[in-house]
Amino acid sequence: METVDESIDNKSQRLFKIRDELSKLSEQARILQFEINQLSATKAEHMKEFLLLCEHLDTYPKQNSNLKGNINPNKVAGDVPLAPSAQNISKVGKQHPKEEKYLAFTRYVYNLPEESGETFGVLGTTCLFPRISIFPNGIPSFTAQLFVFGYLDRVYAKQDLKELSQLPTKLFNVVKNYTQGEGVYCRFYSIAMKCKDLQAYYPTLNYISVEKIKDFNVKATGVDKKIPHLNKKWIQTRRVLGIKALYFILKRFYNEDCRVLDQDQDWVLISKGKSKSKELKERILDIEHHRLGATKETWKLACKMLDHDHA
The per-residue pLDDT for 251 is 95
The per-residue pLDDT for 214 is 73
Strand partners, 11: none
CB 154 within 8 A of CB 187: yes
CA torsion, ordered 232, 300, 286, 148, to nearest 10 deg: -10
Is 128's pLDDT higher than 90? no
The per-residue pLDDT for 149 is 94
Report the predicted TM-score, pTM, of the whole model to 2 decimal places.
0.67
Highest mean pLDDT among 44-48, 161-165, 212-216, 237-241: 161-165
47 band by pLDDT with thresholds 50, 70 and 90: low
The per-residue pLDDT for 160 is 93
CB 171 within 8 A of CB 151: no
Read off the pLDDT of residues 279-299 as tens digits, 9 standing for 90 and up: 999 999 999 999 988 888 899
CB 190 within 8 A of CB 206: yes
Read off the pLDDT of residues 178-210 as tens digits, 9 standing for 90 and up: 999 899 999 999 999 988 777 778 899 999 999
The per-residue pLDDT for 49 is 54
- Of the chain, the percentage scoring pLDDT greater than 70 comes to 69
Is 89's pLDDT higher than 50? no
Is 66's pLDDT higher than 50? no
231 band by pLDDT with thresholds 50, 70 and 90: confident
C-alpha 246/C-alpha 249 separation (Å) is 5
Read off the pLDDT of residues 250-270 as tens digits, 9 standing for 90 and up: 999 999 999 999 999 999 999
Smallest CA-to-CA distance from 239 within 285, 291, 190 is with: 190
Per DSSP bridges, beta strands 131-134 and 152-157 are: parallel
The per-residue pLDDT for 211 is 92
The per-residue pLDDT for 88 is 31
Mean pLDDT of 164-182: 95
Smallest CA-to-CA distance from 201 within 257, 271, 148 is with: 148
Average pLDDT, the chain: 76
Is 223's pLDDT higher than 50? no
The per-residue pLDDT for 68 is 33
Q: What residue segments make up the domains of the chain, in order of their start?
A: 58-306
Q: Which of the residue ranges 83-97, 130-144, 200-214 would you say has the lowest mean pLDDT?
A: 83-97
Highest mean pLDDT among 1-10, 131-140, 272-281: 272-281
Please report which residue ranges of the chain form alpha helices under DSSP H. Answer: 4-57, 97-110, 140-149, 169-179, 232-255, 278-288, 296-306
